[in-house]
């Protein structure tokens, strides 16, 4: 049987995409004014890992173009949420790190998102969410590994 004859994969991926769109909308509405979801993701990343990363490293982590990541970093820097400095070893390269203001904004955002998470948990159920996690994680890991092993199309 060809994969297209069994619509389960298509149906699951369609559901995931619809969920992604609805979650992004819900989270964006809840975030503090002026903070975009992409910016929150960068602040949250640094709040967990700390340190410094180049814009190219961040673009790879978030699977974005360097241009999109540069735009996000510039907005965060203008707001005082990240610090951008030249790399002392390679002056052409820049390094990004979280500021105290950025950590405070991340924490404000988490507090603003908490009611959304609580609503989803109450609506779907903690056990049902927990039971969905292994399959979703396995799918993510499979797709991530496949993405990293396939050659890029030349354009």
Tell me the pLDDT tens digit for each residue of 46-99: 999 999 999 999 999 998 999 999 999 999 999 999 999 998 988 889 999 999
- What is the model's pTM? 0.84
Question: Residue 105 class from Cβ within 10 Å (0-12 exposed, 13-18 middle, 19+ buried)?
Answer: buried
Tell me the pLDDT tens digit for each residue of 102-117: 999 999 999 999 999 9
Which domains can be identified in the chain, with CATH numbers? 3-147 (1.10.10.10)
Residue 18: which pLDDT band, with cuts at 50, 70 and 90?
very high
Question: How far is residue 83 from each of residues 47, 53, 154, measured CA to CA in Å?
Answer: 14, 11, 35
Supply the mean pLDDT for the chain.
Answer: 93
Local structure of 124: helix, strand or coil:
helix
> Which DSSP string corresponds to 12-80?
HHHHHHHHHHHHHHHHHHHSPTT--HHHHHHHHHHHHH-S-B-HHHHHHHHT--HHHHHHHHHHHHHTT
Of 17, 91, 79, nearest to 42 by C-alpha is 79
Distant-in-sequence, close-in-space partners of 93: CB < 8 Å, separation ≥ 6: 54, 86, 87
């Amino acid at each position: 049987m060809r994969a297209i004859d069994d619509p389960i994969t298509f149906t699951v991926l369609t559901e995931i995409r619809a969920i992604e769109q609805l979650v992004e909308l819900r989270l964006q509405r809840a975030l503090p004014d002026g903070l975009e979801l992409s910016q929150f993701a960068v602040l949250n990343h640094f709040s967990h890992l700390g340190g410094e990363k180049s814009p190219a490293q961040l673009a790879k982590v978030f699977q974005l173009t360097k241009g999109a990541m540069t735009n996000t970093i510039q907005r965060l820097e203008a707001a005082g949420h990240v610090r951008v400095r030249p790399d002392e070893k390679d002056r052409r390269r820049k390094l990004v790190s979280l500021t105290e203001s950025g950590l405070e904004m991340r924490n404000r955002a988490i507090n603003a998102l908490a009611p959304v998470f609580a609503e989803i948990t109450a609506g779907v159920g903690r056990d049902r969410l927990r039971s969905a996690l292994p399959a979703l994680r396995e799918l993510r890991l499979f797709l991530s590994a496949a993405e990293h092993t396939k050659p890029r199309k030349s354009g």
